[in-house]
Every structure is written in C-alpha cells, then in structure tokens.
Amino acid sequence: MIRTRIAPSPTGIPHIGNTRTALYNYLFAKQKGGKFIVRIEDTDRERFVKGAQKKILEILRLLGFFWDEGPEVGGPYKPYIQSKKLRVYKKLAEKLVKEGKAYYCFCTKSRLDEMRKKQQKAGRVPRYDRRCLTLSKKQIEKNLKEEKSYVIRLKVPKGQKISWQDLIQGKIEFKSDDIDDQVLLKSDGYPTYHLGVVVDDYQMKISHVLRGVEWISSTPKHILLYKAFDWKLPIFGHLPIILGPDKAKLSKRHGAKSALDYQKEGYLPEALNNFMAFLGWSYKDNSDLLSLKDLIKVFKIEDVRKANPIFDIDKLKWLNGCWIRKMANRNLAKLLKPYLKVKISDKDLVKLAAITKERIEVLSDIDEMAFFLKPLKKFDKKLIFAQAKKDKKQIANLVKKTTKSLKKIPQKKWSAANLEKSLRNLRNEFVDWKTREVFMIIRVIATGRQVSPPLFESMEILGKERTVERFEKTIKLIQ
C-alpha cells in the first residue's frame, strides 16, 4: 500500500511552500488509495516554538488534508510525536555502535569549533576528523563510566557510490567519501533529524518519501542508515523548490506566509490548494478551477516538473476571485461577514455579495466595496457639478425631482427594479440631458463616488431613509 507522510517540525508555523509539500503527499496517497500520515518531529528542542504543533494541524484541517494516522487520530505505529519515543532511537543507535557501524564521540564543542576553523583556513570543507573512531574499548568504557558527554556518529564507509532513482529528479549519485560522519544521537539523548526520520519512516512503513529538493544532500546519509540497519529503502522523490519573482528562494518578503495568514486576508482554502498544486505540477494550461476532489482525480506525480516554479501572488488572487464568483451568494455572504466593518442585515449582506462578487479578489475587499454604506463625511459639490455640462440651476432641478421620485416609492417596494423603473422614467423628462449625465449625478449623490457597485442595487441596500437623506442634503448644498 502507498503510504506517504509529512513530518513538520514545530519550530514555527509552516509557510505556503512547506504546505505545498503536504498537498502533494496527500494527493499522491489519496489518488493511489493509500494512507496519508502526519508525524511531528520535535527533536530540535532549542528551536521549539510553543503552540506551533497546534497551528500546523490547524493548517492541515483548514485545507482539508485530513490524515489517516498521526496526532489526535492515533494509528498502529504510534506515537507519532518523536519526543515520546526517545528510548527507541537510543536503542537503535547503540545497536549500530555494537555492530561497528557507529561510534561514540566525546569531543567537546570547543574542540570541534577549533577543528572547523583550521579546516576552513586550509580551504577544506569542514567535517569531523574521526578522532574518536580510534579510541580504544578501554578508553570508551572509562569515558562512559565517568559520564562524559557524548554523541553517537555514523561510521560512513569509504569508497562507495550511493545512488537512487529519484521519482522526480531521475538518477542521483553521491560518493561516500564526500559524506561526513553525521551525528545520530545528540548529547541530550534526542535523535538528530537523520536518525529520527529514517527510523520513523521505516517503522511507520512509509513507501514514498516526497520532500523538497533541499533534502537531496541528506538522502545519501539516510540511504547509508537504511543499509546499516539492513532495512528496505522507500522510494524518494524530491520536489522542486518554490522561488520568488526575483528567482531567490521563497521567503517572507515574497509573500511566503502560512495558509492561516492567507485565510485572515480573505483567501479561500479551495484557491490556496488550487494555487499550490500548480506550483511545480501542470494540468492543461494551469487555469482550471480544481477542488481537492478534482485534484485527487487528475494529479500525477510524473507530471511534477524538475524546474523550480515562481511564486506569483497575482495568480493566487486571480484564482481566489474565480472561486469567489463560483460560490452561492448565501454561502459567500457568511464568509464576507467577518471582514465587513459596517452594520448590515444578513438579508442585505446576501444582496451585497451578489453585486460585489465580480469585483472582489479576496474576501477582505468587501469592506472597501461597501464604501457607500458608510456615512458620507462630506458631500462634494464640485464632483456633482463635474458630471454634467449643465448650470447650477439645471442640476438643482434634477436633484429635486430625483428626490421627489425616490420619496414616492413606498418603503415596502424599495427595490432595485422599482428604483430603476422610477429613475428611468424621470430621465425621460430631461430630454436635453445625456443618460450618462443623469445617472452619474445620481450615483455620486447616492454613493459618494463616480465608480460604485451597480447603482440601483446599491441604493436598494442603502435603503430609502439614507438614500433620500443624501439627496435632501445635496439640495441644501447646491442651492
């Protein structure tokens, strides 16, 4: 069975690039009828961020990546949090020591720092000099008895070629002579990433390890560990890294925020998933609106490109706008409500959603789109006069007659349809006026701006009382 996983570290809240990796793992597993597993790798205690694990799981739920095994769900290979199985890692690391495949290292931090400085000064790549590999059994036992601090390092074999057929990148090969004797178990008893990930992936029967290309250099170390334990290798696939518009690695300055941040700004989960899927994977011209269910059906790991994709916030906004327009007005209204700073009834909010959905890209745009519902701080006389090549008396006459027509419409019949009928009849009385001149003056008075959502629908939502009040104030202003 196909079993994929994501194994985030709670050292912070993952940005959209990390979440793209989770999406691909989820899609691949679900398309193949497999299992998607979540594992928390919390062994980096120095960088541990309180509350990060909760946010990580919140992101997965928001986007619909419901895991089959993992924290809060359980499963046959629990625990799914590394810090709860330290004894397992220590036992396996010591097993390698007994078999001569790893060794104790008692070097102090100051000694290692000095060693690296000398190597760098000599123009060499810093790496451990294997000093502790030559310690006698007697000296090792003495050090352990004296409870000297130590780490356990992997004894990397020399003169070997380490290669694998990467699911995405093709054949990759390394020389073992270029690989350092990496630390497996740290002095605090916690495993390093390398030991933890290999042990967990094997014990949890992960069949495919899909991760970013930045982990390629770690893969030969992991393969050596699999071989040292005599375990079957999973299939590795390294995903292209996401770049910013300047071709640098995606960072916060490019918009590398978390899915939770994007949600706060008004982006829909459907749009985020759609956008992330196209960051490295192609489907037709990458313009289709694909739900998570759609993505599961059409996603193919072989269509993931080697080339690094460019993060384009404009593409995300466009997709988000498309998903907004696809929504039913009632459903959209519920999502818009938290972003609206003006008071409005649920009924009118549905109407507002209907007339603004073609114009908004993110949900937070709605407050600006609802500008006409906010109190007008001042009435701009110059703006009103600028809408028609008529004198003050003619414009005043139009405003008065418009006010009179609006007042005649009963409260119960105050609707966009009745407003349009009444005002178009009024327009026929002004034969020497252009239609645009008449309605631009009405628009500016009713909404306060030259550009607004559809006029009659806006006036309906604004309501009879406030609309008439604005026209009456205008009469006083221009007389």
Residues annotated catalytic, as ranges: 252
With contact defined as beta carbons under 8 Å apart, do 306 and 168 qualify?
Answer: yes
In 3D, which of 160, 153, 152, 154 has the Cα closest to residue 178? 160
With contact defined as beta carbons under 8 Å apart, do 178 and 139 qualify?
Answer: no
Using CA atoms, how far apart are residues 153 and 183, in angstroms rounded to an integer? 4
Tokens of 312: 């384009």
- Neighbouring residues of 293: CB distance < 8 A, sequence distance ≥ 6: none
In 3D, which of 478, 476, 479, 475 has the Cα closest to residue 404? 475
Using CA atoms, how far apart are residues 57 and 76, in angstroms rounded to an integer? 20
**Cβ-count burial of 295 within 10 angstroms (0-12 exposed, 13-18 middle, 19+ buried)?**
buried
Using CA atoms, how far apart are residues 445 and 16, in angstroms rounded to an integer? 44
Q: Can you list the positions of beta strands (E) in 10-53?
A: 35-38
379-416 CB burial, b ≥16 within 10 A, e <16: beeeebbebbebeeeebbebbbebbebbeebeeeebeb
**Which amino acid does the sequence have at 36?**
F
**Which amino acid does the sequence have at 29?**
A
